[in-house]
Structure 1
Amino acid sequence: MGDLQGLLESHGLMLVFLNVLAEQAGLPVPAYPMLFVAGALGMQDGGPSIGAVLAAVIAACLIADTAWYLAGKRLGQPMLRTVCRVSISPDSCIRQTQSVYLKLGPRSLLFAKLLPGAGALSTAMAGMTGTPYPLFLFYDALGSLVWAGGALLVGVVFSDFVDAILHAFSTYGHLAVLAALALFALFLAWRWWRRVHLLRRTRRIPRMTVDELERRRRNGVLPLVLDVRSAPAEIERIPGAQVVDLDSALQMLASHPATAEIVTYCACPNEVSAAILAERLIAAGYASTWALAGGFDEWKRLQGEAGIEPPAARDELSSPASGKS
């Protein structure tokens, strides 16, 4: 950390810019330690000014976030799946990110960077949902200001404490680095164990294939299909599916008999959200419940292979509001 202080004093703004740019681009390079130090050094003679540091941070965030925005706009849902596969909690981050952004819109960018793993996903969602670019830049710049300003403020307020930590790191540098790495490794191991435990548990939930679901539809015995994705009402869905909240589905099903056949689906890796709801329904007495294998993406893929026009598109063309016949 003593080296970090020396580097900041001589190449402060450039190092802050590159560090933030790398972190916001998705690399595992935390920027907060450098921002803490930059805030503390801003109170000393010769250190980078707080205003200049904020300008460098906002510029780096806007560059990286614009790339995520354009990728989300161009690639759509596959972009979210790609990002979630490399995150620490890939099985639920799509649903959670969609839920937050679709409820709050671009205003969620004001605090997205403060939530682990939500920054890049929220900017990709902005592109996916067609948020106007100037509006995106406005909220993203404010969110970057909140994110960086908090870290710099901590450095300013606790500048003496930061100086003491820097001195301790200079004296016991190798031991401190080893301790930090050990704590980070323990954190990753804990998150990995939780995910493995969740996957093992949800794999015990029975799956229904898309072919079997379509076969039942053709035979007129379609089960109750529940869509647990956090998405607006106008988004394409499996025909006949009912939208449910993962936490309140049991209340909605109170009028259905326990013998009802139910299929749940989502758009997350390993069908985890759908399997979690299916697990709760089975525990509540709905024994004939399945999670849809492959989820909505598998259904969409098979529809495309069969050359079937998406139901949402057909409904839109035939709806009176469209003005088309």
Structure 2
Amino acid sequence: MGELQALLEHHGLMLVFLNVLVEQAGLPVPAYPMLFVAGALGVQETGPSIGAVLAAVIFACLIADTGWYFAGRRLGQPMLRTICRVSISQDSCIRQTQSLYLRVGPRSLVIAKLLPGAGALSTAMAGMTGTPLPVFLFYDAIGALVWAGSALLIGVVFSDFIDAILEAFSAYGHMAVVALGVVFALFLAWRWWRRFRLLRRTRHVPRMTVDELESRRQAGSLPVVIDVRAHGDTPMERIPGSMVLDMQGALDSLDALGVPHAEADIVVYCACPNELSAALLAERLRAAGYPKTWALAGGFDEWKRRHGGAAPTEAANQPGPAEAA
């Protein structure tokens, strides 16, 4: 099985531990291939036992994830933005992660590591939402067990196939690496091209600055303000007087929001890079006959920064029409 087999046979547990620790810490060093091989070696009894590998993986995950947990508790929303900057789909990264955790709670940690990009984000969300540390550690350990167990099981079931693949890599290693690199580069180029086109399209959606919004508030002509972020049972800070609307929901729910007519001024905000979620909903609203619709430039983060990071007034925590309905 080549060099990887030899390394695992002699330094298996330490390599697995370090590989998982580095990956869970956020570096792009995938641990799944090594776990596949560890599973195959475990069933052949030429490497560390599967039980020992599971223990090493869970220990490594708990170390790295506890770091993300305390970072999320201390830094909050900026922590999510920092993590999502390395995501190919960074504009939807924050909203999707918040939606998953706010809907499911700490139980989402059981499956988070199986979802691309959701592992560190979910552990940071656990810290942000004040999940008790013992509860977090319990569900995170189960999640690590599920994640590592699935990889090891694949290695056990397909041990002969994995042997053949590794032998092929040993014989044609350089060609295989080049081929995989080309495929991965093409995939990245395609994803970035899609994102570039989407950002270029949504640049045409007009933006309203936080200063303009506050000027209208002081003049007594506050627009309808719509919060398009992910929400759940956990209370979230909101711009005072804003209403919650699902960006994927039907637009006829605007009647329930109390939007009086198509000529109403509407401002949509989110907490994502390039205020993309807000721009997409504003684009839908303008196409549906609400021409006076803007996306809030900088979103909720800019609004909070302009207010010195202070918590919103009590009105912000009152249920909007969509929640009361």
Indicate whether the TM-score tops 0.5.
yes
Cα drift, residue 170 of structure 1? 1.0
Q: Secondary structure at the match of 1:130?
A: coil
Q: Deviations over 1:36-81 (max 9, x none)?
A: 1111111113211110111111111100000000100111111111
In 1, the alpha carbon distance for the partners of 2:15 and 2:194 equals 35
Runs of 5+ unmatched residues, structure 1:
317-325
CA contact (8 A) 1:236 1:312 kept: no
Q: Structure 1's 125 and 175: CA in aligned 2 closer, same or farther, altered over 3 A?
A: same
Tell me how many residue pairs correspond in the alignment.
Answer: 314
**1:122 paired to 2:126:** no
Q: Which residue of 1 aligns with 2:321?
A: none
* Letter aligned with residue 312 of structure 2: P
Q: Which residue of 2 aligns with 1:31?
A: 31
Q: 1:290 aligns with which of 289, 294, 315?
A: 294
**1:190 paired to 2:190:** yes
* Letter aligned with residue 88 of structure 2: I
**1:238 paired to 2:239:** yes
CA contact (8 A) 1:225 1:264 kept: yes
In 1, the alpha carbon distance for the partners of 2:252 and 2:270 equals 19
Cα drift, residue 242 of structure 1? 0.2
Q: Structure 1's 309 and 11: CA in aligned 2 closer, same or farther, altered over 3 A?
A: closer
Q: Which residue of 2 aligns with 1:99?
A: 99
Q: Deviations over 1:138-161 (max 9, x none)?
A: 100000111110111000000010
Q: Which residue of 2 aligns with 1:156?
A: 156
Report the identity percentage: 75
CA contact (8 A) 2:241 2:316 kept: no
Q: How does 1:1-325 map to 2 (within 5 A)?
A: 2-232=2-232, 234-248=235-249, 250-254=251-255, 256=259, 257-304=261-308, 310-312=312-314
Q: Which residue of 2 aligns with 1:321?
A: none
Runs of 5+ unmatched residues, structure 2:
319-325
In 2, the alpha carbon distance for the partners of 1:12 and 1:213 equals 59
* Letter aligned with residue 287 of structure 1: P
CA contact (8 A) 1:99 1:231 kept: yes
In 1, the alpha carbon distance for the partners of 2:169 and 2:109 equals 34
In 2, the alpha carbon distance for the partners of 1:195 and 1:56 equals 38
CA contact (8 A) 1:5 1:37 kept: yes
Cα drift, residue 312 of structure 1? 3.7
Q: Cα RMSD (Å) of the superposition? A: 1.7
Q: Deviations over 1:154-186 (max 9, x none)?
A: 000000100110111111111111111111111
Higher mean Cα deviation, 177-186 or 28-37? 177-186
Cα drift, residue 260 of structure 1? 1.4
Q: Secondary structure at the match of 1:239?
A: coil
CA contact (8 A) 2:239 2:312 kept: no
